[in-house]
Structure 1
């Protein structure tokens, strides 16, 4: 059976990544591509690397007939996404890649994103889209909220350790290095080559990064009490990838075994042999997440390192993985391509 999908926000990085991934899917057809400012252009004009594909011309969202669409990917900015989704047909399956439906408490959304939630009815039905941990809920969901790419990386490293009671919940330090594509395709002065290259910097230091809302929500629910991690992201002059270095108090061998057990049947999560650490080079362009565990020289302390591609496993690949679950397809369909190296 062929499923017809629409991609809203197709002129951004995550939209283009969705097109690239769906090209390998045996049972999904792209029926509509929307990009308000680039309506009327072909995808080849916007993304020349996709010129070999036969794709619909970019259009405005208002021009799409959703009656023939089985599922819609929404790759729009936050605030815009909730307004658009609220106006879509109530029976349409949706995978949202923005932040608009990730936080279950509307007050928390307003706290972290600075505006009141405008689609409370849809918020109530949204399922958090971390596929490996919400698989059954996603299968029956109409609206799935994709996670933040930083939030996904940190959760893959930490969720089994928190739920297993293996670490000190008050002593978690999460240090992330993030590629520039995570900031989107819009022109920004600090992302110009001359401003970004040959160095890297910490940003949103302390308590301002919006993905902290996801960490607070998910880790506290797992632990049954409030959990707040120390989290600092760093912007590095690379195109793709996130590397999370997590410092915890707990036995390294037990932590490694817990991760091996938790992910032994997961097709996209690879736990490395004890003592090895991953690289973003080894997951680039793929839907895989690699996790390594190393014992610190200080007894009772452990370093967990996780790497994934922010555009694939951290966003569009995760979105397609969720869509597969929602449409009754094999979860891995269109997603088993090997990483690109070097």
Structure 2
């Protein structure tokens, strides 16, 4: 195997998904596994599905433990990545799955996350126009949030082609409970989640809003305003995002479909579904894919783009490995599957 990778935060959902993918990667040897409060406990206690690593004991997240690796993945709570990354040499490829380095504007960080902005790293969404060149030269990469990944990809072709107005974009997205992390929370108890769908962070206060707007601004000179409402669905993983925007005069469903087909031509992980077929989260479980369908509601004058994605795979760990492949000079698809699990 060519490269050795460490995972900091290996006991969490993102860390577990990273390890699941890395175990099947032909060019990666899994090195150090670290944690915070779970340090000193066996990985099998937290990730029983990772049988090849069952005998590993989680170490503390220290510079000494992470030293000597070609790649270090940081699957840590927001605000903790900067100090760890600063202790690693510039030659180490560091991929942060948290929010610390995603936002370009320090004022956005201070408003949405509070505290001092740690800086901005190359943004780990290869499908953004021009982004692959940056990622191939990067030693530091900020993986997008899960909601921004699916929402941005669902909207970018229409925005880039000038088919929609950019100051009236509405996104309502349903996510599985793993998106909230592994820490116990009353609202995530089985008795609260089963048989129920609930909204949260309503009224334009979700932290992923500025990240979505930042991505869309990359492909348009127009001002961008997004109204984003997340909902919690009774499933462990997956996101279904319904994105709408007012269409420009004369734009119909056929024009929108052409724009998406052209934009996604040659993209291994982005799939425009056949006409009349609509996305399901089940089709993306475990896969590094985004599947989408588009239509124009002519009566309301709005484009509707619906996209499904696994929040832990393409939305976090799979996207991180995709970026790693680019930065290490490997084929972008190495170790990643487009095959989902259904039913």
TM-score when normalising by structure 1: 0.94
- Choose which of 119, 127, 131 in structure 1 pairs with 2:126: 131
SS in structure 2 of the partner of residue 69 of structure 1 = coil
Range moving further from structure 2, 25-34 or 287-296: 287-296
Range moving further from structure 2, 58-67 or 98-107: 58-67
1:227 match: 224
- Choose which of 160, 169, 173 in structure 2 pairs with 1:172: 169
Query: Structure 1 CA distance, aligned partners of 2:258 and 2:56?
Result: 48
* Superposed counterparts of 1:1-342, under 5 Å: 2-53=2-53, 56-62=56-62, 64-117=64-117, 119-120=118-119, 123=120, 126-133=121-128, 134-250=131-247, 251-296=252-297, 298=299, 300-336=301-337, 338-342=339-343
CA contact (8 A) 1:66 1:89 kept: no
Query: Structure 2 CA distance, aligned partners of 1:154 and 1:67?
Result: 36
Structure 2: segments with no counterpart, 5+ residues: none
Structure 1: segments with no counterpart, 5+ residues: none
How many Å apart are 1:102 and its aligned residue? 0.5
Runs of 4+ in 1 over 6 A off after TM superposition: none
Query: Structure 2 CA distance, aligned partners of 1:236 and 1:255?
Result: 29
Query: Structure 2 CA distance, aligned partners of 1:67 and 1:17?
Result: 22
CA contact (8 A) 2:256 2:295 kept: no
CA contact (8 A) 2:44 2:54 kept: no
How many Å apart are 1:297 and its aligned residue? 5.1
Range moving further from structure 2, 66-75 or 47-56: 47-56
Range moving further from structure 2, 318-327 or 66-75: 66-75
How many residue pairs match? The answer is: 337
Higher helix share: 1
How many Å apart are 1:56 and its aligned residue? 4.1
SS in structure 2 of the partner of residue 14 of structure 1 = helix
Query: Structure 2 CA distance, aligned partners of 1:239 and 1:283?
Result: 13
CA contact (8 A) 2:81 2:98 kept: yes
Q: Provide the aligned C-alpha RMSD in A.
A: 1.6
What are the Cα deviations for residues 9-50 of structure 1, in whole angstroms up to 9, with x where unaligned?
A: 001000000010011110001111101222222222221111
How many Å apart are 1:329 and its aligned residue? 1.0
CA contact (8 A) 1:150 1:314 kept: yes
What are the Cα deviations for residues 121-157 of structure 1, in whole angstroms up to 9, with x where unaligned?
A: xx3xx10111212111111011110101001111111
Range moving further from structure 2, 64-73 or 5-14: 64-73
Query: Structure 2 CA distance, aligned partners of 1:166 and 1:337?
Result: 29
CA contact (8 A) 2:5 2:32 kept: yes
